Amino acid sequence: MVGLAEKHRVVIVGGGFGGLYAAKELGRAPVEVTLIDKRNFHLFQPLLYQVATGTLSPADISSPLRGILSSNKNTKVLMDEVTDIDPLQKKVKLQSSEVDYDTLIVATGVSHHYFGNEHWKPTAPGLKTVEDALEMRRRIFVAFEAAEKEPDPEKRQSWLTFVIVGGGPTGVELAGAIAELSFNTLKQDFRNIDTREARILLLEGLDRILPPYPPDLSEKAAQSLSELGVTIRTKTLVTNIANHVVTAKQGDQVEEIPAQTILWAAGVKASAMGKVLEQQVGATLDRVGRVVVEPDLSIAHQPDIFVIGDLAVYTHQDGKPLPGVAPVAMQEGQYVARLVCERIKGQSLPPFRYTDTGSMAVIGQNKAVANLGQVKFSGATAWFIWIFAHIYYLIEFDNKLIVMLQWGWNYFTRNRGARLITGEGSLVQVDVDENGNYAVPGSQSPVEV
Amino acid sequence: MVGLAEKHRVVIVGGGFGGLYAAKELGRAPVEVTLIDKRNFHLFQPLLYQVATGTLSPADISSPLRGILSSNKNTKVLMDEVTDIDPLQKKVKLQSSEVDYDTLIVATGVSHHYFGNEHWKPTAPGLKTVEDALEMRRRIFVAFEAAEKEPDPEKRQSWLTFVIVGGGPTGVELAGAIAELSFNTLKQDFRNIDTREARILLLEGLDRILPPYPPDLSEKAAQSLSELGVTIRTKTLVTNIANHVVTAKQGDQVEEIPAQTILWAAGVKASAMGKVLEQQVGATLDRVGRVVVEPDLSIAHQPDIFVIGDLAVYTHQDGKPLPGVAPVAMQEGQYVARLVCERIKGQSLPPFRYTDTGSMAVIGQNKAVANLGQVKFSGATAWFIWIFAHIYYLIEFDNKLIVMLQWGWNYFTRNRGARLITGEGSLVQVDVDENGNYAVPGSQSPVEV
C-alpha cells in the first residue's frame, strides 16, 4: 500500500446511479476512491414500484455496494452520512469521522416534495426508498383486507379507493399495477368484496399524463390505463388531504374523494447536500434546492467539486434542464470520472453532453410506452423493450436472471407472490381516531423494513 | 350460496403448516371452512435462517394465504387475531367480530422461550417471524460495517464476534451460514478488517449439538461446523446476557464473551392460545404451555376442539412427545381434516400416527446431515437431499422455481444478494449508552419489515 497517500483522492457521496457509475469508471484509475452512502446497497429505483405493488422483493432490485465494488482495489466503501464539508481544508465531515478529498463528487439525489404541505406525508407517502415501497405495499394490501371485513358500504368503498397523486412515470406505473392487482391478481381471493369494484384514480395537474413525453404517447398511455380500469383526471390539483379525504380541484369544480390509500408521486426536492453546498461554497440552487452546475458538472468557482444525477441542474445542452432519470446520472458519473483522469494527466474534456437513450413507462401486462427519440412505441412492443432495457441495466445485479425469471413467471401466471403485509401495523384492525375517522394502525408510525 | 349455513363449520386458527394442510385437505369437503391468521401469508419457517443471513428474501419463503386457498370455494380467509373462545356457544372471538364453529382446530404454534430471562430478548433476538429474520439480518451486516469503522481492536473484535445460543437445527444452520458469510462471501468486501477474523460461537447446554439426532450425525455436524470455522461449546449454559457480554458456564468454568451480535435459538414456549384453552376448556398444558392432546388430537372431553402442530403435545405413539417440526404439523392437519369428514358421515378414524420422513439440518455449502430413519447421510449427499426435500415442500409457493434458481446461483457464485441493511436503525452509528457500552442504534426498537 506504499504511496497510496500520494494518490489523488476522489470522494463520492451517494451510491445511486451517478455515484456508482463514477466509482466504477474510476476502478482502474490511478486514484484513491472513497464512496460514502447512508445505505449499504445500491437501489435500482426505476423498479421500486414493483416492490410497492407486490411483484418483486427489495433484494431483487438492490445490490450491496461493497459487493459491486469489491474487485476495485483502489476503492473504499463507507457506510456513513455526510454532515458537512470544509472546502478550505478539503474535508468531508461524517457522523463519526472525516475524509480528505482532492476531488469531491456529490450525488445524493432528491426526495419527495409536498409543495409546502409536509403534513400530508403520513397520509400520502411517496416512493423513494425500500422502506417507502414496503410501506406502500403494506397499505395497498391492508386496504383489501380491511374492505373484506368492513360491513358499512361507504367505508368499504373508501378502503377500495386508491388515489395516486402525480401523472409522471411513477404515478402511471403505480396506477397500472394497482389496477392489475384489483382486476386480475386478487379477483378470486376474497369472499365478501369484489376487488373489481376498486376505484383507481390518477390525478395530474397538467393537461396530460407523462408530460415530458410526446403528446401522442401520453394519449396512448392514457388509453391503456383507461382500458385497465384507471380513472384519469388531468388539470386537477390536490388542494387538501385530511382524514383520508382528498380534495381535488379541476377548474372550478371541487371534489372530495374519500380514500384510505393515497400515494404521492408528484414532486421532488433536493437532498440536504444542496443546502450544504450553498452555504459552504456558494452554490446556486434552483427552486427545489437542486444545484446549478457548469458545463463540466462542477460548481461555479469550485473546479474540484462536482454535482451529478438528480441533484444537479444542467442547462447547457439545449437550455432546458436534463431530466432526473437514471441514464442522465450514469452518463454524468462516467463523464466526471473521465474528466478527473484527464486532469491528472494535465488535460481536460469538452463539456458534458447527454446522449438520450429514450424514456419508457410500463402501464401493465403487455402495455407500455417508449420514446426512443426517432422511434416511438406503445403496447406490447414497448412493453418488451421496457423489460429488456431494464434487465440490461440491472447488469450490476446478481439477481438479473432471477428477476427476469420472476417476471416471466408473473407474466404467465399473472401472479404477484410478494404481496406480504409485514411490519408493526401488519395486523388489520380498524381504529377510529379522535375525528371519528377510521385509520390503519401503524400507518403514521415510523416505517422500517 | 343457499344451504351454506347448514353445513358443518370448521374454524382453523393459524395458517402455518398444520392449519394450512388441514384447510387444503378440507377444500373439497362438504364443510364451510374459516382460516384465521394474524398475517396474510404462510411462512416456510425452516428456511427463515436463509433470510436472516442474506440469501433469500421474505417473499421467497412466504405465500399469501388467500392465494393458496383461492380455488377452495368453501374456504374463507380472515386476517385477524383470536382473543378468546366460548366453548358453550361454540364461538371464536376475534379483535373485531366473532365466528361460529362446529369443529375448532387450533394451530397457533410456539414462540421463543428465554427461560425466565425475557429481558435478554432485545439483546439476543430469536427467529420465528419474517420481522425477526430481517432484524437478525440487519444486526449481522451492521456488525461488519461497524467493525470496519472501529479503530479500537478490542471493540472491533466484539463486533466480529457472533454468539449463537442453542445447538438445535436453527442454531446449527445460523452458525454455518454466518461462518460462510465471514470466511467466504464477504472476505473481499472490506478494507480495514479481515472478515476471516470473525469468531462464531455456538453454545449448547447438552453434551452434543443436534441432540434429537443420532450421536454419530451430531458428531459429523460438529466436525463440518469446525471445518467451516465455528467454535462449538457443548455442556455450556448461558447464565447472563448484559451490555453485549454473554456469560457462559461450562462445568465450573465461567467465561465472559464480549459480542455485539447474540442470536437466540434455544427454546420455545406455547403461543397464547394454550392459556386460553386451559382457562376455557380445562386443557392440560406442559411445562412450556403446550396443549396435551388425545390420541385423535382433540382435547380431553372436548371432542370438537383439536390442537395440532407445535402447540400440541402428542405422546401416544411411543411415549415421547412428537418433535416440533413441519412434517408432524402437516400430517396432524391432514389427519384432523379427514377425521372431521369421517365424523360427518357418522364414522371415525384410528388414532393419529406420525410417519417419520426423517430430519435434516444444513451446515453450509455441500455440508448437511440427514437422518432418514434407516439411512443416515452427511456431507454433500445430505446437502442435496436437503435441497430437494425443501424444494419439494415449497410446493405451495409460486416461487419454488425462483428459489431453486436463486440457490443454484448462490451455489455457484457463493454470493448472497439479499444482504441489505434496512429499517430504522440502518445507518451505522456507534452510540455509547449510559453504561459506557456501545450499542447499535435502533436495535432495541420495534422491528418492522
Chain B residue closest in CA terms to A56: B59
* DSSP-derived pairing of the beta strands B103-106 and B302-307: parallel
> Contact, A363 vs A369, CB < 8 A?
yes
pLDDT of B394: 62
Are A416 and A320 in a shared domain?
A: no
Q: Which three cell numbers stand for residue A60?
A: 431483487
Is the Cβ pair A59, B63 closer than 8 Å? no
- Are A135 and A230 in contact, with CB atoms under 8 Å apart? no
B336 pLDDT higher than 50: yes
Strand partners, B230: B200
Compute the distance between CA of residue B150 and CA of residue B143 in angstroms, rounded to an integer: 10
Sign of torsion, CA A72 A74 A77 A82? negative
A306 inside domain: yes
Same domain, B168 and B141: yes
Q: CATH no. for residue B304?
A: 3.50.50.60
Asked whether the beta carbons of B26 and B103 are under 8 A apart, the reply is: no
DSSP letters spanning B53-100: TTSS-GGGGEEEHHHHHTT-TTEEEEE--EEEEETTTTEEEESS-EEE
What sections of A36-129 are H helices per DSSP? 48-52, 65-69
H helices of A345-377, in order, are: none
For B94-130, b/e burial (b = at least 16 CB within 10 A) is beeeebebbbbbbbbbbbbbbeeeeebeebbbbbbbb
Give me the pLDDT at residue A435, please: 41
Mean of the per-residue pLDDT values of chain B: 87
Is the domain of B178 the same as that of B298?
no
Q: What is the Cα A285 distance to its own chain's centre?
A: 21
A426 touches chain B (CB under 8 A): yes
Range in B52-66, B191-205, B359-373 the model is least confident about: B359-373
Answer yes or no: is pLDDT of B191 > 90.
yes
Cβ distance of A417 and B428 shorter than 8 Å: no
Report which secondary-structure segment, H or E, holds B164.
Answer: strand B161-165
Report how far residue B269's alpha carbon sits from residue B32's, in angstroms, rounded to the nearest whole number: 31
Task: Determine the structural domain holding residue B31 and report its residue range.
Answer: 4-38+80-112+269-344
Looking at this protein, which amino acid is placed at residue B239?
T
- Would you call A427 an interface residue with chain B, using a CB distance cutoff of 8 Å? yes
Say yes or no to pLDDT of B415 above 90: no
CATH assignment of the domain containing B199? 3.50.50.100
Give me B357's grid cell.
420422513
Chain B CB contacts of A413 below 8 Å: 398
SS3 call for B107: coil
Return the residue matching grid coordinates 390503519.
A440
Residue where a domain stops, chosen among A295, A319, A344? A344
Residues 139-158 of B with CB under 8 A from A: 141, 145, 148-149
- A206 lies in the same domain as A336: no
Q: Which residue has the cell 384510505?
A: A260
Of the candidate ranges A363-367, B34-38, B390-394, the one whose mean pLDDT is the lowest:
B390-394
Q: Read off the pLDDT of each residue in B146-160 and give the average, rounded to a whole number.
A: 95
Is residue A164 located within the same domain as residue A231? yes
Note the pLDDT of residue A399: 55
| Residue A417 confidence (pLDDT) | 64
Task: Give the residue-averaged pLDDT of B127-155.
Answer: 95
| β partners of residue B302 | B299
Report A:58-87 residues touching B (Cβ under 8 A): 58-60, 62-64, 66-67, 70-71, 76-81
Instruction: State which residues of chain A have pLDDT below 50.
Output: 1-4, 427-449
Note whether B40 contacts A: Cβ–Cβ < 8 A: yes
| Helix-helix angle B400-413:B379-393, to 10 degrees | 150
On whether both A336 and A363 belong to a single domain, the answer is: no
Residues 6+ apart with CB under 8 A from A413: B398
Q: Which pLDDT does position B358 carry in this prediction?
A: 76
Q: Assign B363 a pLDDT band (cuts: 50, 70, 90).
A: confident
Burial per residue of A209-239, b for 16 or more beta-carbon CB atoms within 10 angstroms, e otherwise:
bbeebeeebbbbbbebbeebbbebbbebbbe
Instruction: Confirm if A202 and A171 have CB atoms less than 8 A apart.
Output: yes
Residue B137 is predicted with a pLDDT of 95
Taking residues B128-154, report their average pLDDT. Answer: 95
Same domain? B243 vs B313: no
B387 and B335 within one domain: no
Is the pTM higher than 0.80? The answer reads yes
- Whether B427 sits inside 8 A of A79 (CB atoms) is yes
Residue A48 maps to a domain: no
Of A25, A32, A173, A204, the active-site residue reads A173
**Residue of B63, B191, B438 for testing the chain A interface, max A β-carbons within 10 Å:** B191
Does residue B69 sit within a domain? no
State which of A297, A321, A344 marks the end of a domain: A344
Q: Which three cell numbers stand for residue A315?
A: 442547462
Q: Is A219 a catalytic residue?
A: no
Rounded Cα distance, A160 and A200, in Å: 8
Does one domain contain both B154 and B261?
Answer: yes
Q: What is the pLDDT of residue B310?
A: 97
Residue B440 pLDDT: 39
Contact A405 B405 (CB under 8 A): yes
Determine the distance from the C-alpha atom of residue B148 to the mean position of all C-alpha atoms in its chain, rounded to a whole number: 31
A374 touches B at CB < 8 Å: no
CB contact under 8 A, A188 and B70: yes
Q: Does A31 touch chain B (CB under 8 A)?
A: no
Query: Are A416 and A288 part of one and the same domain?
Result: no
Q: Say if residues A11 and A36 touch (Cβ distance below 8 Å).
A: yes
Q: What's the total number of domains in chain B?
A: 2
Over residues B24-31, mean pLDDT: 96
What is the layout of strands, in order, in the sheet containing B8-13? B75-79, B31-37, B8-13, B103-106, B302-307, B298-299
Residue B372 vs residue A83, higher pLDDT: A83
Q: Is B429 domain-assigned?
A: yes
Q: Is residue A448 part of a domain?
A: no
Q: Which of B25, B150, B173, B204 is catalytic?
A: B173
pLDDT tens digits, one per residue of A148-199: 999 999 999 999 999 999 999 999 999 999 999 999 989 999 999 999 999 9
CB contact, 8 Å: A111 with chain B?
no
Nearest-angstrom CA–CA distance, B339 and B436: 60
Please report whether residue A52 resides in a domain. no
User: Quick check: A405 contacting B, CB < 8 Å?
Assistant: yes
Question: Residues A322, A328, A329, CA angle at the centre, nearest 5°?
Answer: 120
Distance CA A1, CA A164 (A): 53
pLDDT of residue B395: 54
pLDDT per residue over B192-219, tens digit each? Answer: 999 999 999 999 999 999 988 889 889 9
Question: In this structure, are residues A224 and A364 in contact, taking their beta carbons and an 8 Å threshold?
Answer: yes
- Taking the C-alpha atoms of residue A60 and residue B157, their distance in angstroms, rounded to an integer, is 32
Residue of B nearest to A138 (CA): B449
β-bridge partners, B64: B41
As to burial, measured by CB atoms within 10 angstroms (0-12 exposed, 13-18 middle, 19+ buried), residue B357 is: middle
Q: Which of A344, A374, A401 is the last residue of a domain?
A: A344
User: What is the value of ipTM here, to two decimals?
Assistant: 0.83
B78 vs A contacts (CB less than 8 Å): 148-149
pLDDT digits (tens, 9 = 90+) for B209-254: 998 888 988 999 999 999 999 999 999 999 999 999 999 999 999 9
Residues of B in contact with A188 (CB under 8 A): 70-71
Phi-psi region of B301 (alpha: psi -120 to 50; beta: other; left: phi over 0): left
C-alpha span between B289 and B272 (Å, rounded): 9
Beta pairing partners, A324? none
- Compute CA B417 distance to the chain's CA centroid, rounded to the nearest angstrom: 22
**pLDDT greater than 60 at residue B3:** no
Is residue A212 assigned to a domain?
yes
Could you give phi then psi for residue B69, rounded to 5 degrees?
A: -105, 10
pLDDT score of A112? 87
CB contact under 8 A, A423 and B57: no
| B273 and B252 both lie in a single domain | no
pLDDT at B2 over 50: no
CB contact under 8 A, A39 and B402: no
Q: What is the DSSP string of B18-36?
A: HHHHHHHHTTTSSEEEEEE
Task: Indicate whether A365 belongs to any domain.
Answer: yes
Judged by CB atoms closer than 8 Å, whether chains meet at B420 and A62 is answered as yes
Is residue B351 pLDDT above 60, yes or no?
Answer: yes
| Same domain as A374, residue A256 | yes
